[in-house]
Amino acid sequence: MQTLPNALSIATERDLDLVEVAPDASPPVCRIMDYRRHQYEEQQRKKESRKKTTQVVVKEMKFRPKIDIHDYMTKMRHVERFLSEGNKVKLTIMFRGREMAHPELGLRILERIADEVSEYAIVDSSPRQDGRNMTMVLHPLKNPGRKAKPTVSTPEQTGAH
């Protein structure tokens, strides 16, 4: 423990700075250090901690209630790829005209998708109608157990045309 004038003279002798570390302590705590170097190291620590946090990306895949089997399989491959990359996936069923009278077709498609990706994703928000669209969000699991080859059910199996 040093007096202020003594600590300042030691800091100037060593060509360093006297930095107040804990001003609220009694007595206040000061350290002799290179302040610019301290600032630089602090910035590097903050930068490193920001690097470690991952940005959550939400990918969207749009379906129609009367989707063809090949189109469905292609879109499902994209959904599986997005989930394997660690992205959330927002699934949207778009209704047009008279399709609005049959929301159960869209619900059936969303439930089928949720069943097919249940090994490596969970439903983040359940299916809900939002105007002309029905949406559902999937969240990838931490360590997804990838299937050898995904089994995709046909629209005929679920009743979609």
pLDDT of residue 78: 95
Query: Domains along the chain?
Result: 4-52 (3.10.20.80), 58-158 (3.30.110.10)
**What is the DSSP code (8-state) at residue 95?**
P
What is the token pair recorded at 64?
Answer: 């129609």
pLDDT of 75 above 90: yes
Comparing CA positions, the residue from 73, 37, 89 lying closest to residue 155 is 73
pLDDT of residue 25: 87
Q: What is the average pLDDT value for the chain, to the nearest integer?
A: 86
- Condensed to tens digits (0 to 9), the pLDDT of residues 111-161 reads 999 999 989 899 988 899 988 999 999 999 876 555 444 455 555 555 555
The residues with which 91 forms a beta bridge, in sequence order, are 61, 136
Helix 69-84 to helix 103-116 angle (10° resolution) is 50
Q: Distance of CA 132 to CAs 57, 62, 109, 110, 118, Å?
A: 24, 12, 15, 15, 26
pTM above 0.75, yes or no: no
Residue written as token pair 């009743």: 159
Q: Distance of CA 140 to CAs 10, 119, 122, Å?
A: 57, 9, 6
**Count of C-beta atoms within a 10 Å radius of residue 119:** 14
